[in-house]
Amino acid sequence: MQLITPPAGEPVSLEEAKLHLRVDFDDDDGLIQALISAARQAAETITNRQFITGRWKLVMDSFPGPSLMGVPAGQPFTLPGHAILIQKSPVLNVVSINYLDMAGVMQTMPTSNYTVDTACEPARITPVFGQIWPVPLPQIGAVTVTFDVGYGNAAAVPEGIKSWIKLRVGSLYAHREEVAALSRGRIESLPFVDGLLDPFKVSFI
With b for 16 or more beta-carbon neighbours within 10 A and e for fewer, the 97-115 pattern comes to bbbbeeeeeeeebeeeebe
- How far, in Å, CA of 203 to CA of 155, rounded? 34
Q: Find the DSSP H helices in 119-189.
A: 159-174
Domain regions of the chain by residue span? 2-51+153-200, 57-66+78-91+99-148
For domain 2-51+153-200, is the CATH number 2.60.40?
Answer: no
Amino acid 100: pLDDT:
97
The string of pLDDT tens digits covering residues 150-192 is: 999 999 999 999 999 998 999 888 876 655 555 555 545 566 6
CA distances from 21 to 15, 28, 83, 111, 158 (A): 10, 11, 45, 48, 20
Full-prediction pTM beyond 0.85? no
**Residue pLDDT tens, the chain, 205 long:** 999 999 999 999 999 999 999 999 999 999 999 999 999 998 999 899 999 999 999 999 999 986 555 555 556 666 778 899 999 999 999 999 999 999 999 999 999 999 999 988 889 999 999 899 999 999 999 999 999 999 999 999 999 999 999 989 998 888 766 555 555 555 455 666 656 667 666 565 5
- Number of other CB atoms surrounding residue 44 within 10 Å: 22
